[in-house]
Structure 1
Amino acid sequence: MIETHSGAAHPPKSALMLEGVKKAFGATEVIRGVDWSIRQGECHVLIGPNGAGKSTLFHLMSGRYLVSSGTIHLNDIDVTHFGANRISRSGLGRSFQTANLFGRMTVFENARVSALRAAGHGPSFLSILRRGGPADIRALEILDEVGLLDKRNEPAALLSYADQRALEIALALAGNQKVLLFDEPTAGMNKHETHNVIELLLRLREADSSRTMVIIEHDMDVVFELADRISVLVYGEIIACDTPAQVRANRAVQEAYLGTPAGAAQAAVQSQRH
């Protein structure tokens, strides 16, 4: 397992632990034996070239896909064979690469539906549960936390792109999950919008230091501003997992990002095994 420790007598507890995780679609193996540990309370950024398997790895951790082999533990619970809803109720929330909202519903109604889902209910419960109940209270709490409380009555489709992404982040918080997966939260944003998302993620960390964030990100300025540690996925394998400074200096990472031929990048992967 590629891992670094601070030298403390007892290594930090893992929020997520992957051991020997593989995922194949037919004859095509996309994730090729990932061993990966995410520490509780850290902001861990996953980077890698396009097609490396980053979103697939997120789908495996969140239960959207089932592993072909290997195990996944969430806060010491074996969730390898759990579906997405059960994993969410076990403490993991996530946002997606593209907005996954009910456009005709208000911001508040989107948040309420997500709070209901976190409690194990479907959207059909929206109209029959009394107003002012736990789902409503939680919806208002998460909207306030991400700065959208004053837009709670606006249709989600009319929000700016940046506010839609903020709402996505709010929905990931709906069940008070402590492990959060964010798939490219700044994708498609201008510099000002990106800054606002960074500030939002930093505020979320400050508000609850027990939260663990795992983020897929391509913008390296964002990566180095947010990350406690960075992992690099190349051809379905983690080739580096370390502090930003160490990852920046890693030759295999430099080769992967400088566009060396596939054979050289694959050789870099192989070199990490021996």
Structure 2
Amino acid sequence: MNLKQLEYFIAIAEEHQITAAARRLHISQPPLSYELAKLEKELGCQLVVRGPRSVSLTEAGKVLYDRATHLIAMAHAAEREVASVGTGAGGTITIGVDPGCSGLMPQDRLLDLRRSFPNAEIEIREAATPGIMDLLDGSITDIGVVRTPFKSDGLRCRFAAAEPLVAVMPPDHEVGEEASCTVDDLAGSPIIAYRSLLPELSKAFEVTGSSLRVTTLVDDPRTAALWAREGMGIALIPRSLLRVTDTGEQFIKELACRELESRPAVIWKAQHAASDLFRTAIALLGDLS
């Protein structure tokens, strides 16, 4: 099994069709079909189910797709970093950012990083904290900017202060006091929640015996705020996102619930090979304060 075969397999998995995958790879269909069959023979299992017009992944194929995307990303990251250092470009730093931390990313400090390393390449990858943890574990990202809760085994962490959620409320859905609200106030209201918050949110409502009514579920808290701006419900987002999100004329109220506060953190592998670029990035990011 080699990287070329993995790239071919990824194309097939994402296009759901041998012909479309061959077109994407700029090769003809027969060699692609041959490489797929060869890969299945090497691994000793069927990776795709071939239909009359499309292909679908088997369970083994799904596992391989997940691993292959990480391996290819790591290979490309290594190529870029080696090439940039070899040509004197200054190296590459990849920072994985949870969208819920977007309001805390210190743009002025990233400008300082650019001034210190004018030829370096800075890559930003966005995913929820569990996704960033996977990218960090696979060495696809060098640094993570994430939110609690997460497992810190094998990591170095710099935690910022705890941050509350705020409720972005359209006028038609206003509840609570002038500047704050509680979980009880939100009971029965249409809630727009981002997916990674849902377990903690459900737990908080369960503890108080309040009725949680999630009418819209999104992946990015910034999207939740935008939907609230259009009157679709009450969005619950980290307070710092207000810096980078246009909430329009909605009411903004702090949610008085300690259990739903989270701590942003800068994290990296304890055993990460520290280049000058990496050390400077860590120093400039600090604890996001």
| Greater share of residues in helix | 2
TM over 0.5: no
Larger radius of gyration: 2
Which one scores higher on RCO, CA 8 angstroms, separation ≥ 6? 1
After TM superposition, the score normalised by the length of structure 2 is: 0.26
